[in-house]
Structure 1
Amino acid sequence: MTQPTLRGFFFTRPADAEAELAGAAESGAGSDGLGRPAIRGAVFAQIGEKAAGVLDRSYSEIFQEVWGRHDALRQSAANTRDRPGSEEIVEMTTYDVSYQDRPVIEVQIGELEPVPLEIEVVLRITVRGLIAVIRDARLVALRAGTADVSGTLSFAGTQVAAKQATLELPGTILLGRGVPLLGDKDPPTRTGTPGRHRDP
């Protein structure tokens, strides 16, 4: 099943993203260096396509990046790191977090100097009723909750979209090997140790 993405969050019709981002690039700072008038339409269409591709990140990917700031998750990660094979459940009744990303795409026409164009995504997220599963110092699963999200999208110095929405998170999001919460080091392994469950 396809997961919701930033493109779908900011644009009612995700297919419109490329055209709106191309328009923002055309009116934004730095656009004067993007070629002769005869080719600028094609250039901006390619820019819009490339910029829209940056927005194809899923909610799950974004949430994974911010969980490491949560004190209770980090504490459970430390607990399970010290008890290999154990598992802890953390109830996130209400949790406020921010997310900001500023990727830059470079556009070059022929022998002209590359022109950098910055995309800025800013999100304010309030998570309610989410349950996190921690095992071996990693976040391995998230269970149902909601997220109130407000965000802005800017490109080449021009605000393209502003949105507020309440997202219903899927019943369970499995995160594969899990998201390291205490760095990239794996905890020591211990054979024959049964899993332990704890609800703080």
Structure 2
Amino acid sequence: MTSAPAAAPLTVRSFLLGRDDSGTAPALRQALHDQHAGAGLLPGPRALTSAGDRAVEAELASVIGALLELDLVSLLAAGWVRHTALREAAHRTRQYPGSEEVVALATHSITSTHRPAVDVLVDGVPATTVEVGLTVVLRITGLVAVVRDAQLVAVRAGECEAEAKLAVREIPVASRQGRLDLPAELPLRSPVDLLPPDRQGHTRPSWQPAGPGPGPGPVNPG
């Protein structure tokens, strides 16, 4: 486990692995191989060859790489939707359209847990499922938020300590904790609705693929 400031862009990938370039996939493949996270998936006569294990590791690295592209600012925003002080400010500013409140937040933590599953196919037939687990904990101190018309429109950053853990089949593959170098004002992609109509029953953010494209899915080692 290392401890150091993260560099931009603020993705889980850049924080956890310290990089956001084309070298990420080989690094993930090597980590999976070193921890034997992709080996021995099938017992007995159905066992994969060494080449099959490496093919599974390569595909898992690709799937996990897509997961690690999660934006840390978006994870923070998802947590702030549930913050009591911000929701109270949202209710007040919704009651008085055009009004704005500046809310200073004390030290608080946001935990984001993601557990996608990857199906492994052998000769096109489902053989087993690989569980992937990613947990990100963000602890923020001295943050100031601006709420207007029930939306979070600006955030002036304080200090942020982060911890990320990645596991495959409950085998630890990578972990890191350290300080996030947040910009003076966080770049929200758009105003965040603090009173979304669909938030009932949601306790923490979860990750799901939005549609076709990179994301958890079947892996066929060939």
Is residue 28 of structure 2 the alignment partner of residue 17 of structure 1? Answer: yes
Shift in Å at residue 23 of structure 1? 5.1
Instruction: State which drifts further: 129-138 or 106-115.
Output: 106-115
Shift in Å at residue 66 of structure 1? 0.8
- In structure 2, the residue matched to 1:100 is 113
Is residue 168 of structure 2 the alignment partner of residue 147 of structure 1? Answer: no
Is residue 147 of structure 2 the alignment partner of residue 134 of structure 1? Answer: yes
Give the direction of change, closer, same or farther, for the CA distance of 1:149–1:107 in structure 2 (3 Å limit): same
Return the match for 2:90 from 73, 77, 99: 77
Give 3-state SS (helix, strand or coil) of 1:3's partner: coil
Quick check: 2:104–2:144 contact (8 Å CA) kept in 1?
Answer: yes
Normalising by structure 1, what TM-score? 0.79
Is residue 8 of structure 2 the alignment partner of residue 8 of structure 1? Answer: no
Shift in Å at residue 144 of structure 1? 2.1
Normalising by structure 2, what TM-score? 0.72
Give 3-state SS (helix, strand or coil) of 2:38's partner: helix
Give 3-state SS (helix, strand or coil) of 1:64's partner: helix
Q: CA RMSD in A?
A: 2.6
Give the direction of change, closer, same or farther, for the CA distance of 1:110–1:124 in structure 2 (3 Å limit): same
- In structure 1, the residue matched to 2:131 is 118
The structure with more radius of gyration: 1
Deviation per residue, 1:128-166 (Å, 9 max, x gap)? 111111111111221121111123211122111222101
Aligned residues: 184
Quote the sequence identity (%): 31
Amino acid at match of 1:26: G
Gaps of 5+ in 1: 186-200
Amino acid at match of 2:149: D
Shift in Å at residue 17 of structure 1? 2.6
Is residue 64 of structure 2 the alignment partner of residue 64 of structure 1? Answer: no
Give the direction of change, closer, same or farther, for the CA distance of 1:35–1:74 in structure 2 (3 Å limit): same
